[in-house]
Amino acid sequence: MCGIVGYIGKQNAYPILIKGLHRLEYRGYDSSGVALLNGQNKLNVYKAKGRVSDLEESCATKDTLGTVGIAHTRWATHGEPNNVNAHPHYSQSENLALIHNGIIENYAVLKAGLINEGYTFQSETDTEVLIQLIEYVKVSNNVDLYTAVQLALKQVIGAYAIAIIENANPDLIIAARKSSPLAVGIGKDEFFLASDASPIIEYTNKVVYLEDEEIAIIQRDEPLKIVNLNNHEKTPQITKLEMNLSALEKGGYEHFMLKEIFEQPRTLRDCMRGRINVENNNVTLSGIIDHKAKFQNARRILILACGTSWHAGLIGEYLFEEFCRIPVEVEYSSEFRYRHPVIFPDDIVIAISQSGETADTLAAIELAKEAGAFVYGICNVVGSSIPRNTHSGSYTHVGPEIGVASTKAFTAQVTVLTMMALNIAKERGAISQTRYEQTLSELSNVPAKIKEILELNPLIEDLSKTFTYAHNFIYLGRGYSYPIALEGALKLKEISYIHAEGYPAAEMKHGPIALIDQEMPVVVIATHDSTYEKTISNIQEIKARKGRILAIVNKDDDKVRAMADFIIEIPETEECLAPLLSVIPLQLLSYHIAVKKGRDVDMPRNLAKSVTVE
């Protein structure tokens, strides 16, 4: 969702900004733009609907000189994606230009006031209101840009990450954030600004993450200055980035999504590294060690997340209830935050988020904290907002996930939840030593088993051809496989735009069975588990109605093979670990169907990687 890039230094800003925008493309956007100060009292703003490459094309004949500039990818909220609504936005006098991520909730009231003062608006955006407000405050109070931003932001309700440049001052960028991420990269005689570290990493590994209501005063040849809305100055806290550049490249794969699917044997090893000690058959998570008593005395676990992370949460529910015997509720963050939930001070809240920036999950965390609950974050992006706003947590350590459809982050979330459940179960004395050791040792075998499944890629690609005709799909699973049915359906929807529904297999006969005919592909997860025989009965029900069955089975499965039209065989594992294996062929199936349909797999329409608005 919207991306910000900024540069001030000795180099020409334009190529750095464009490269930065390309790095942020994965977040999802529909238009882009750039503002440059060319050093001759000219603030140039260029914008284009569509891809960053469209912006580059339209800038080919333009003046793109200047050593200071800001650039933006926009994911439309207020007003359709077009050149006018794209950022940057000029102020009325064209002395200022602003880019913005987030939503100004009181923009209508502010706009009405500005119209009364004689301001006119070109776009439908809330962003243009903000830059006009800043100019109005600057002119009417006769103050400098920093003070104007500070005063204007005090009037704003909503979320923002902003960057502003001023024609009259080519040595300055002002940036600020609230509930939307922003990082300043510190180079030698130069500064970079970005929504996340990906545009910064090739120039410097030193970054400062802004906190809510902080303003960065980024001046040429001056140290970075950070001040909050109440004018308190703060020493910038420099974080060293561990990410490497190759993690942001496709590494020979056609798409990031395919690369990330194939990375999973390694990423899961990385996720377990230092946590599972195979020799001692032990698992420790540093985020739990420091808060052992909380976990031992937990009355209930509440898991909050959105989308794919919510599916990981559902698996967490099964794991915690089975192993720890703690009651668990899993909620969409967006529902939780608005429904007056009952939260006890001895609840443990687990917030799951790949990006660590999902606005609804952040708001749900605040609600839980206000009610006195202990909040544990499971996140992938190091230094993102959720880990910084939770009491403790675990990183998934899978490296940047660029493909919009989450794959490797999901399996790592499930792995962290499994390690947590085993760790807490042991601390609470709720699991036998034998079971604990067995499951742990089998968890260590999962990466190798995933590698085996990945060898089926050519077969799954071949199979995908059979299904490109379909307009609808049903995915079924029971027990631990039910969340995987949901996840398989979501993956297919997101990237192929084929409608798909995930259902608990037994629920079929309560309604969805009416949809089954010879046209309807039904993907059934029918691995050997405690509900295997029941799932077979469900397959028979579909078969009787001529549905086309693609079954995910374990090797040497005869019963399902005899009924299914197509099968994909995966290795056996413990029931609670089966989701980590059965999801892999479903990721590959969605990927290949989407490719065959000519979809933009890494950047599917309308989707954003980091959903920073509610």
Residues that bind ligand F6R (CB under 6 A): 306-309, 353-355, 358, 361, 405-406, 490, 494, 611
Q: Give the DSSP H or E segment for 43.
A: strand 43-49
> Residue 31: beta bridge partners?
49, 74
Residue 455 DSSP symbol:
T
Helix (H, G, I), strand (E, B) or coil at 17: helix
For residue 149, the minimal CB distance to ligand F6R (Å) is 29
With contact defined as beta carbons under 8 Å apart, do 73 and 65 qualify? no
Residue nearest to ligand F6R (CB): 307
Q: Closest approach of Cβ 495 to ligand F6R, in Å?
A: 8
- Residue 45 token pair: 């703003």
In the bound state with ligand F6R, the residue whose beta carbon lies nearer, of 358 and 418, is 358
Specify whether 240 is catalytic: no
The DSSP element (H or E) to which 58 belongs, if any, is helix 52-59
CB of 590 to ligand F6R, least distance (A): 10
| Spatial distance between the Cα atoms of 608 and 604, rounded to a whole number of angstroms | 8
Question: CA–CA separation, 394 vs 541, rounded Å?
Answer: 43
Are 256 and 250 in contact by the 8 Å Cβ rule? The answer is: yes
- Residue 2 annotated among the catalytic residues of the structure: yes
Supply the minimum distance, in Å, between the C-beta of residue 353 and ligand F6R.
3
Amino acid at 432: S
| Parallel/antiparallel/unpaired status of strands 521-525 and 548-554 | parallel
Nearer to ligand F6R, 1 or 215 (CB): 1
Q: Is 525 helix (H, G, I), strand (E, B) or coil?
A: strand
Nearer CB in complex with ligand F6R: 306/516 = 306
Closest CB to ligand F6R among residues 17, 405: 405
- The answer to whether the CB of 8 falls within 8 A of the CB of 169 is no
Tell me the CA distances in angstroms from 301 to 68, 385, 404, 415, 421, one per residue in order: 49, 22, 29, 17, 11
Q: Chain-centre distance of CA 459, in angstroms?
A: 30
CB of 606 to ligand F6R, least distance (A): 12
Cβ at position 35, least distance to ligand F6R in Å? 29
Nearest distance in Å: CB 605, ligand F6R: 14
What are 37-42's contacts with CB under 8 Å, separation 24+?
37/66, 37/67, 37/68, 37/69, 37/165, 37/167, 37/170, 38/63, 38/65, 38/66, 39/65, 39/66, 39/67, 39/170, 41/167, 42/167
The runs of H, that is alpha helices, within 455-555 are 457-465, 482-496, 532-544
Which tokens go with 421?
């459940």
Could you tell me if 428 and 321 are in contact, meaning their C-beta atoms sit under 8 angstroms apart? no
Minimum CB distance to ligand F6R smaller for 127 or for 353 = 353
Q: Could you identify the residue written with the tokens 């039904």?
A: 522
Q: How many CB atoms lie within 10 A of CB 472?
A: 12
Q: Is 384 helix (H, G, I), strand (E, B) or coil?
A: coil
Q: Residue 255 Cβ, how far from ligand F6R at the closest point, in Å? A: 14
Nearer to ligand F6R, 38 or 355 (CB): 355
For ligand F6R, the closer CB: 9 or 403: 403
Q: How far is the CB of 271 from ligand F6R (least distance, A)?
A: 15
Q: In this structure, what token pair is assigned to residue 256?
A: 């990031």
Backbone phi, psi, residue 527, to 5°: -80, 165
Q: What is the largest CA-CA distance in the chain?
A: 81
CB of 369 to ligand F6R, least distance (A): 17
User: Does residue 281 sit in helix, strand or coil?
Assistant: coil
Closer residue to ligand F6R in complex, CB, 129/261 = 261
Which entry of 47, 259, 408, 609 is annotated as an active-site residue? 609
Residues contacting residue 304 through CB under 8 Å, at least 6 positions apart: 313, 330, 331, 332, 333, 336, 349, 350, 351, 352, 361, 364, 365, 368
Nearer to ligand F6R, 65 or 247 (CB): 247
Strand-pairing partners, residue 476, are 503, 524
User: Dihedral of CA 425/427/431/436: which sign?
Assistant: positive
- Classify residue 28 as exposed, middle or buried by CB count within 10 Å of its CB (0-12, 13-18, 19+): buried
Pick between residue 378 and residue 581 the one whose CB is nearest to ligand F6R.
Answer: 378
Among 2, 271, 324, 576, the one annotated catalytic: 2
Catalytic residues: 2, 609
